[in-house]
Amino acid sequence: MAAPSEEFSVNANEAIRIALVQPGPNHRILTRHEFHPQFTYPIVGEAEQIFGYKGLDVEIQFAAHDLRPHVNITYEKKFQTIGTTSALDLNKTLGNFLPPIAFQQGFEKELQKDATKWTPPGVCVNKYTRGGQSYEVWAGSLLDAPLRALVDNIQILIVLFIEGGQFINLDDVDWTLDRWRVYLVYHKSSEPPTPLACPYSFVGYATTYRFYKFQKTGPEREDVTPFSFPPSEEITPTKLSSRLRISQFLITPPYQQHGHGSALYQAIYDEVLADPTIVEMTVEDPSEEFDKLRDLNDFDKLEPQFKAADIKINSSPFASVERARLKAVPTATLLQVDKLQTIRAKNKIASRQFSRMVEMYLLAQIPLSHRAAGGASLTSLKVRGPRAAKEDDRNYYWWRTLLKQRIIKKNKDLLEQVPLEDRPPQIEDSARAQEDEYEGLLLSYALRREKEADRHGNGDSSHGVRKRKVVESDEDESGETSVSSKKPRT
């Protein structure tokens, strides 16, 4: 006979369901999409178990347009309290993550009201199609009360799908709220299920936050307006020089793998490029999935610019090549540093991310047969190095040398703790892992371009995005690769 703790315990990830609902025919509720959470430990504990129920079903419904939440809890049997042991109070537990309106009556009645004129809060910043269906991206500041209310409704999704995700303080001062910008992705139906139903249904969303970025003034910054006190106009966060950080990014499971993540990322990036007050875009604690999405989209943006600027490795940086050990990497001679810096500033990409895109592009310029992935001998390359007879072999040697140089610089403090004789093997392992990652990205990029050609420009495949609790952020461009539960990015 099973112990009560086992008999009345259920898996929270299986017991909890999220449903996007709309009004249906005959005053019924129509479930548009239904899915289970990826994580529930922030709500019920590390074991992700709910004690005290048999046949438990916790349905968290969201109106597909304005995302008003409602909780339905049903079960076959509830554990009777014995001493201090009792069933988990689900309403109280979920009440820490949902607004009070989620536990009020009248959800079905509100859902049936005329919503034909409802539109997402903010302004529409992009429209696109996938599979013949229309989608829109809307954006606005958290100073906007309707947008703030909508975000309050769905913040629980952050802890259910983004590992280590945290709520935004919606009661913060106006100055801080204005730093936040929210991007909403909606499907717009041409045929809503009922005449009174809203044509908009939620797909996903992202949030960004502005950090003040000090800009040096001088002869090279003659366009900067001198500061006067008191200021001649009201100062707001959106008027100050800033570094933008993507903080949260989520496409709901039913819409993953259909290019919506890329469409949302591109909408954010387009606004960054159009805003003269934003000097750089970074990402907070990106997951491996988001890293790949970001890499593919950034590479798609930068590759034609690299080609136009004729970015390439100088395979013969020295007038003469001696057999002595290389004392310093001639970066300024190997690469067109000034051109690259101009491209980076123009595209407002963080230094570490830009370096990765440059490395990925330069690797792609080397024929596959001269790369490790194509069978090239790294032992022979190490022996011949810059004295190799073929230009492609020299390019590959210098490419790996530049890669190792960046790895060493980024991990300087960590390497100082490693015995001298153990450093070369570790650096080599990191370089090979990074090269393997680039090879995989280049293959994915080629497949993506083929799909785009087949779809006649209808879009790329996207990936579900989640974060891990301890991962590297590119907020600090000079930091080391962190030790994390995901493979460190070098």
Give 391-446 pLDDT, tens digit per residue.
999 999 999 999 999 999 999 899 989 898 999 999 999 999 999 999 999 999 99
Query: What is the percent of the chain with per-residue pLDDT over 90, rounded to a whole number?
Result: 71
State yes or no: 249 annotated in a binding site.
yes
Q: Which helix (H) or strand (E) holds 354?
A: helix 351-364
Q: What would the two tokens of residue 331 be?
A: 């970066």
Predicted local confidence at residue 478, as pLDDT: 36
Mean pLDDT calculated for residue range 135-144: 97
C-alpha triplet 45, 182, 354: angle, nearest 5°: 90
Predicted local confidence at residue 462, as pLDDT: 39
Predicted local confidence at residue 397, as pLDDT: 94
Chain segment 264-319, per-residue pLDDT in tens: 999 999 999 999 999 999 999 888 899 999 999 999 999 999 999 999 999 988 86
Chain segment 74-125, per-residue pLDDT in tens: 999 999 989 889 999 999 999 999 999 999 999 999 999 999 999 999 999 9
Structure confidence at residue 455 as a pLDDT band (50, 70, 90): low
Instruction: For residues 256 and 299, give the distance between their C-alpha atoms in angstroms, rounded to a whole number.
Output: 21
Predicted local confidence at residue 236, as pLDDT: 86
Q: What would the two tokens of residue 141 be?
A: 């500041």
Structure confidence at residue 226 as a pLDDT band (50, 70, 90): low
Strand, helix or coil at 82? strand
Predicted local confidence at residue 3, as pLDDT: 56
Positions marked catalytic: 284
Most confident of 157-161, 376-380, 475-479: 157-161
**CB proximity list for 206: less than 8 A, separation 6 or greater:** 182, 183, 246, 247, 248, 249, 250, 264, 265, 268
Mean pLDDT calculated for residue range 52-80: 96
Predicted local confidence at residue 475, as pLDDT: 46
Predicted local confidence at residue 468, as pLDDT: 33
463 φ, ψ to 5°? -130, 145
pTM: 0.87
State yes or no: 166 annotated in a binding site.
no
State yes or no: 251 annotated in a binding site.
yes
* b/e 148-167 (16+ beta carbons within 10 angstroms → b): bbbbbbbbbbbbbbbbbbee
Cα within 13 Å of Cα(485), Cβ side: 10
State yes or no: 259 annotated in a binding site.
yes
Predicted local confidence at residue 274, as pLDDT: 96
Residue predicted with more confidence, 225 or 170: 170
Full set of structural domains in the chain with CATH: 9-111 (3.90.360.10), 123-222+234-295 (3.40.630.30), 300-454 (no CATH)
Residue 359 pLDDT greater than 70, yes or no? yes
Torsional class of 437: left (φ above 0), alpha (ψ -120 to 50), beta (otherwise)? alpha
Residue 457 pLDDT greater than 60, yes or no? no
β-partners of residue 51 are 9
Predicted local confidence at residue 125, as pLDDT: 97
Predicted local confidence at residue 239, as pLDDT: 87
State yes or no: 257 annotated in a binding site.
yes
Query: DSSP assignment, residue 365?
Result: T
Instruction: For residues 315 and 398, give the distance between their C-alpha atoms in angstroms, rounded to a whole number.
Output: 7
For all residues of the chain together, what is the average pLDDT? 88
| Contact present, 184 and 137 (Cβ < 8 Å) | yes
State yes or no: 262 annotated in a binding site.
yes
Residue predicted with more confidence, 490 or 213: 213
State yes or no: 29 annotated in a binding site.
no
Residue 177 pLDDT greater than 90, yes or no? yes
